[in-house]
A and B are shown apart, each in its own frame.
Chain A
Amino acid sequence: MDVVKAVLEKHQKELDKYKPITVEKHLECRIDVGTLLITDPNDLEDRQIAKNKEEYLAELTRDNTQLLVNAIWELPTERVDESIVAKLPEPTTVLPRLRKPPGVRPMTKWEKFAKEKGITKKKKDKKTYDDVLDKWVPTYGFKHAEAEKDKEWVLEVPQNADPNTDMFQKKMDLRNEKVAKNEIQRMKNIVRAKKVEMPRSGYLGPEAASSNQLLTAVTVAKASTASVGKFQNKLPKEKEARGLGVKELIPGGKRKASHISAQPEREANLELIKSVLNKKPKLNVDKAISLQKQDERLEREAEAGNKPAKKKGKGSRKAVGKKPKGHQGQRAPGKKGQAGRKRR
């Protein structure tokens, strides 16, 4: 027993040589080792702060840091490149993010449609065999355009077209148009994905709006009253907007009936056929009487010896030639003695 006692005493003496690593705290500190963070909720000593602030702060911080270091040194360690590394746990303090977490990428219109219809993408070969050129040609990308040029070095002008049309230019234009359309569709997809409210119609600014768009905007605005534009004044020579999709924009206008209805297709078709086949000609009494009268008159005339009696009176007068119109004559400026319009 003496030996044990002696060893313990010796160890204690050795420890006494060093300063302690334990810290006494009234309230327990909250430690987040993952972020190397310690929060000390204990009250501060105001008198100490007033007297010697710096020393007090340094001492307080030292104690708290000692607690944190004690926690760090207890973590599992490993040796990496001749240095000892402690594995930190997940931080418990949750800090705000810079942006919202990413959601699922919304489908484009085509992707949605393809999914509904079950259309899957078919993979094309990188190169296809061209019969005309008699060689393998890239389907897209590098050297595809070159091959296309080689293949279509001459283009036929169709019979009904103007012989001077540049078919190459026409082809290029068609392609450019497709590219532009694709670009607009891409942007529409972006707008849809971002859920931005875009005006279906409206004033888009003097640079952007075309005359057609302006006209549509005017028509839509006029119809956007409680009385669907019934009492709006019209300017002289004002036109109504026409074209694809304009009617849908005008409030109160007739919309196209949806081709999909609750009725089953077969039934709907049968009904349609029935309505066509069972149609009875409408009897127009007035028309029938007038036709009858005409027939009778013709008969009478024939009886009178092929000489229809000449009508007399005001009603028989008939206009001969054109009525001259004003403001259409040709002036000859510079010639003297010719005043006014040319008279016919």
Chain B
Amino acid sequence: MSLLRIRKPKTRKGKKVLLAREPQLIESARSMLFVDGRKCSGNVKLCMRDLQQLKKPLVKILHRKNDITPFDDPSSLEFLTMKNDTALFTFGSTSKKRPDNILIGRIFENEVLDMFELGIKRYQSIAEFKNDKIGACVKPCLVFNGPKWAQTEELRRLRSMFIDMFQREKVESIRLQGVEHVLSFTVTNDMSVLMRSYKILLKKSGQKTPRIELEEIGPSADFSVRRTKIASEDLYKLARKQPKQLRVTKKKNISTDPLGNTKGRVHMGKQQTGSIQTRRVKALRKTPEEKRENRQKKKVALKAAALEALAASE
């Protein structure tokens, strides 16, 4: 029976692996799987190696060639990412029809969410730039130039994909001296994506904030966007849904005044002044005359009402 295939993990390590594959409230940093295609050489190989260097240690590299065509059948790629527990993948291949092809994509629920095929038009690897490099595991600044990034859904997703790929981990704080790497992505009018990488040099400006100078360190690449597969709007929305526990809810009726004091507003409900126990003073009590007058008034009012009712019925 197919039931019998759900086996309990036998070792502690196996259990850990299986637990890591289950849905988690706070997911770990997104690592990337590097897969070679049928043919993978030249610029593709160089590009893959540089991407690995930028992404280290959040990488998983497979060295064998794979006869996969992800746009026709992504199942084996999905399987590989599932086995290696990675959220992103890069697939490099080169063919006569699509020379120097690099494919980047991401996974949701063990299925491909987005896939972008980028053709390398020009490539300069990190090794070609002979200058000082940056340290490892530096969180880069990401710069997106050009109005096109927000114009089509495909490019918006591609931008999101690049952010996903290079932002490394979510951090709470950053060392100011550690801001030393910037990746710039520019989309030109002829729809080519220019990727540049610079080292940030902090110069004196006479103020607290430094003046920035840049020095290119590579990789530098010109990509053309080839085939793409983007998730439907519903699926994309579902994939971006954050768990309830992490969502920040605004606390109502709390405000801070300019002096920094916290003020709260409380809802009181309707006050029933008639039944509230108050102090009774003798002076405010009604005298017997007043009471009599009141009764008289009531009687007159009742009589008038009765007469009116009679007149109406006749």
Contact = CB atoms under 8 A, between A and B. Distances in A.
Interface of A: 14-15, 17-21, 34-44, 46, 49, 53-54, 57-58, 60-62, 64-66, 68-70, 72-74, 77-78, 80, 83-88, 90-91, 93-103, 184, 187-188, 190-191, 198, 204, 208
Given A35-B163, A42-B147, A102 B24 contact: yes
A73 B176 contact: yes
B143 A61 contact: yes
Contacts of A184: 3
A18 B206 CA distance: 7
Interface stretch (B45-53, B58-66, B186-194): B186-194
Interface stretch (B101-109, B253-261, B263-271, B296-304): B101-109
B144 A38 contact: yes
Contact of B212 (A38, A66, A99): A66
Interface in B192-233: 194, 196, 198, 200, 203-214, 216
Given A87-B173, A88-B173, A37 B142 contact: yes
B143 A18 contact: no
B240 A94 contact: yes
Contacts of B55: none
Interface string B152-187: 000000011001100100111111110100101010
Contact of A44 (B188, B212, B240): B188
B3 A198 contact: yes
Contacts of B1: 204, 208
Given A21-B211, A98-B30, 4 more contacts: A36-B174, A60-B186, A86-B175, A87-B172
Given A60-B145, A83-B177, A101 B242 contact: yes
The B contact surface, by secondary structure, is mixed
A333 B80 CA distance: 67
A88 B169 CA distance: 13
Given A69-B212, A72-B174, A61 B244 contact: no
A35 B30 CA distance: 14
Given A36-B141, A39-B150, A65 B6 contact: no
Contact of B4 (A17, A66, A87, A187): A187
Nearest to B146: A44
Given A36-B142, A44-B186, A49-B188, A97 B3 contact: no
B243 interface: yes
A46 B184 CA distance: 17
A311 B168 CA distance: 111
Q: In this complex, which of B141, B203, B207, B243 has the most chain A Cβ atoms within 10 angstroms of its Cβ?
A: B141
Q: In this complex, which of A15, A21, A90 has the most chain B Cβ atoms within 10 angstroms of its Cβ?
A: A21
B184 A57 contact: yes
A37 B14 CA distance: 38
B65 to A, nearest CB: 27
13 contacts: A17-B206, A18-B204, A19-B203, A20-B205, A39-B149, A65-B212, A69-B212, A83-B175, A86-B174, A98-B107, A101-B244, A187-B3, A191-B3
B255 to A, nearest CB: 20
B51 to A, nearest CB: 18
Contacts of B236: 96
Q: In this complex, which of A40, A103, A184, A190 has the most chain B Cβ atoms within 10 angstroms of its Cβ?
A: A40
B142 A61 contact: no
A17 B205 CA distance: 8
B171 A88 contact: yes
B214 A62 contact: yes
Given A44-B186, A49-B188, A35 B108 contact: no
B163 A61 contact: no
A198 B3 CA distance: 9
Contacts of B144: 37-40
A211 to B, nearest CB: 15
Given A85-B174, A95-B160, A57 B141 contact: no
Contacts of B189: 44, 46
Enumerate the 6 nearest inter-chain pairs by beta-carbon distance, A residue then B residue, closest first: A101-B243, A96-B239, A61-B184, A102-B23, A73-B209, A99-B23
Q: In this complex, which of A14, A49, A80, A188 has the most chain B Cβ atoms within 10 angstroms of its Cβ?
A: A49
Contacts of B188: 44, 46, 49
Interface string B30-62: 100000000000000000000000000000000
B87 interface: yes
Contacts of A36: 139-142, 167, 174, 179
B108 A99 contact: yes
Contact of B173 (A73, A86, A99): A86
B22 interface: yes
A226 to B, nearest CB: 30
Contact of A73 (B141, B147, B208, B243): B208
A97 B176 contact: no
B238 interface: yes
Given A41-B150, A72-B176, A99-B23, A58 B198 contact: yes
Contacts of B72: none
Contact of A102 (B4, B22, B143, B177): B22
B243 A65 contact: no
Contacts of B243: 101-102
A60 B175 CA distance: 25
A93 B160 contact: yes
B308 interface: no
A208 B5 CA distance: 12
Given A84-B175, A99-B23, A99-B108, A70 B209 contact: yes
